[in-house]
Every structure is written in structure tokens, then in C-alpha cells.
Amino acid sequence: MSTVTLHVGQCGNQVGKSFLKNLIDTEEVKESLTYIDNSGKLRSVHVDSEPKVVHKLRKSLSQVKEKNIICGKRGRGTNWALGYYGLKSETENNLVDDTTEALRKEIERCDSYCGVILMHSLSGGTGSGLGSRLCEVIRDDYPMNYLLSCTFAPFSSGESPLQHYNSLLTLSALQRYSDGIILTYNDEILHRLQKQTSDNIVSMENINQLTSKNLCGVFLPTDTLRPQSGLSIGSEPWELLRSTCPMPSTKFIHINHKAKSKVSWENLIGLSLQNLTKHNKQGEPFGCLSGVAIGRGDQSGLFHQVLQKGFSQRIKTSYNCVKWNPFPLDIWSAKQKIIQGKENFSSITIAANYSNIVEYLSTVRYKAKLMYDNQAYLHWYWRYGATQDLFDEAFNTVDEIIEDYKTAVS
């Protein structure tokens, strides 16, 4: 079973660089041929509207195929419409065609193609706009295969005055075309890293590395899903979708990852649950539709035993799992560690369909609507082809997601 990763924009490629390095360092990944082909090259495609980031990535990762690097000559100005519809210039408009052609060739090289993992930002011009366009094209070209989006939300303090519009339009597109959405909040990653440092200084590279470890926590091979032949078939991303996103109306996945050396599973589970935000700003509890707990570095095979002794129930209680789901938590484990070479290093990753997404969606919708009603910055979107109908549809889609989650956890 083969999976192709598609990295779009600066954010998607920078997180992707760290993620792919982790894949290359994992022996089981090389053996399974899920993300790496027979020649040792990565099954990945990289696209950006500017050459700097992707060329730098190519130099540091020789396993990336040169033909799978696609770049334009001009950025997308943090504008979803410019990323989605492109520039008037014929060369720049080829970004979508060149990417889909590279993706098609990569998919044809696969013995048993399962789906695409798409990595991109939620609010950057290329990541959001071009990411949305590619998501739509992939769904159209490969309707029977999986499409999983890993998208990264901007800092709430503000990276651009257009970020709320961009986020709204991207969320709407992802809801329509993807099978699942792993949403990572930069604020949450930053907060966790700041707690680990004495001077509160955190670089973007630190954020990208922790984000990639979160993703490795769910995508790397596990012993639980390994068939009797002993060789991983790389089904983890798609089993994750089956376990956490059974309903198309509610398909947002939150990842809670904690890694530590020389600590018991009981303590590690406790530390991971301390990271979890359990209530919204009004003090109302969030709810969980379904989830997966993954223990890595389980050399002694005690992870399942610990969960059976009551820690599984502790996770369900902390996440406030819905009562209508009789089996809300799946358990996976792996002897293999995410970070190689460290003794007694274990990690737990909890991927959950968690209703904290409602608070984020409500904030994005409120701020975007406030700007929209005042006609702020809309001329930048009209200029490149966006319409009022597009915005109306996006507002309606986000409203429906919010209502569907509220209904599901009530």
C-alpha cells in the first residue's frame, strides 16, 4: 500500500522537510515501500509559488525526485484568490497542471496506491489558495482514493490582515473535498514549546519539528496494524480516518503528542492529558466523537496492559467521549521509537475527533464576517476572480460544520 505526500507552499514544505527526514530515518518505512519507492526515493511532490524554499529542501533531501519539485517565480501575496485562481501569466498558471502531472506520474509508479497526504497552511496565499485548488483537482481525478489534509492554522496574534478570509475559504474547500483534516494550531505548539524552555525563545524550526513529530506519531508504522507477514503495509493514515472520521460531516482531527525518556506509561499518559484543553472560554466541556491512542517505544509490551488497567477509561473521561459511541477509543502500539538512538524514549499520541474545532471555527467565522460586512480588503479577492457567491458558500459551510459538531456531542 503506497501513499504519496504533496507539500504545498512555504509552510507545507518546511514542515514536510522535517517530516520526511523522520521517515527516511525509520527502517520500517524503507522496508514497507509506503512513502519510499524501490529506488530509495520519496513518493513526494513539492510545489511553491516561489523557488527559494523548495530548492533549499531539494539540497537537504537528496531522496526527493528533482522532477517532483514545481515552483513559480512570484508569490501569492497571502491571498487565497491569487493562490486559487493564479496569475494571468501563462507560465505561472501552469503550477496546477505541472503539479497534477507530477502527482499522476508518482501515483502510476505505486504498486497499490491508497491516497494522498496533503500538507499546507490554512492562511498563506499558496498553501491556502493553491492547496484548496489542488484538493479539488485531486478529488476530481481520484474520487475513489483517500485524501487527507494536514493543515496548519496561523498564530491568533495575526500574520496577515487577510488570514481570516483565507482560513474561512480553505476550511470550506477542505470540508467539501477531503476525507479528513488534521488541523494543527501554531498557538498550541508554541505554548507547549515555551513551557519547555527557560527563556521562552522558540524558533519556527522548533515549531516545525514538533509539528512533524505529531504527524509521525500517527503516520509511522505500528505493530498493531502490521499483518502476520511481519512487514508493515502502511495502512496507518487510512485506518486513522476509519477510526476517527466515520461521518463526512465531522472530520476534523486534533493531535495531542507527548514524548519523554525514562518515564512510565502511566506518567506519560498523565502528562499528555495535562496538555489537553478540556473547556471552551465559556467553561463548557468539549466532546470527543472517536479517537486513537498510539504508544511508541513500547519495548516491553506494557502499553496495552496499562490501558486495560483503567487508563483507557481515564483518556475517555478526559476527552469527554460521546455516550452514543460504544467503542470511542482504538489502541495502537509500536516498539519502534519516533526519535532513534535515544534509550528508554517513549511517546504517546492521541488523535481525536474533538469538538474544540467549534471554538476555532466560530472565531474564524466571526472575524471574517466582521470584515466582510464592512467590505474590508474584498477588492483584493475580486481582482483575482473570487465572487460573493464563493464567500456566501464558505460562510454556510462553516456554519454547517459548527452545527454538526454541536449536534454530535450534545
Domain with CATH 3.30.1330.20 in the chain: 255-355
Q: What is the structure's pLDDT at 345? A: 83
CATH code 1.10.287 region(s) in the chain: 359-409
pLDDT tens per residue, range 167-217: 999 999 999 999 999 999 999 999 999 988 878 789 999 999 999 999 999
pLDDT band for position 92 (cuts 50, 70, 90):
low
pLDDT in tens, 386-403: 999 999 999 999 999 999
pLDDT digits (tens, 9 = 90+) for 20-35: 999 998 888 988 889 9
Over residues 144-165, mean pLDDT: 93
Highest mean pLDDT among 49-58, 156-165, 357-366: 357-366
For 375-386, write each residue's pLDDT tens digit. Answer: 999 999 999 999
Q: What's domain 255-355's architecture?
A: 2-Layer Sandwich (3.30)
Q: In angstroms, rounded to a whole number, what is the distance separating the alpha carbons of residues 9 and 201? A: 25
Asked if 125 and 80 count as a contact pair (C-beta separation under 8 A), the reply is yes
Residue 141's pLDDT is what? 97
| CATH 3.10.20.30 correct for 2-244 | no
Q: What is the pLDDT of residue 229?
A: 79
Listed residue (3, 35, 23, 241) closest to 114, CA to CA: 3
The whole-number average pLDDT for the span 340-352 is 80
- The pTM of this model reads 0.95
Domain with residues 359-409, CATH architecture: Orthogonal Bundle (1.10)
As annotated, the residues of the chain forming the CATH 3.40.50.1440 domain(s) are 2-244
Helical packing angle, 204-219 and 9-24, nearest 10°: 60
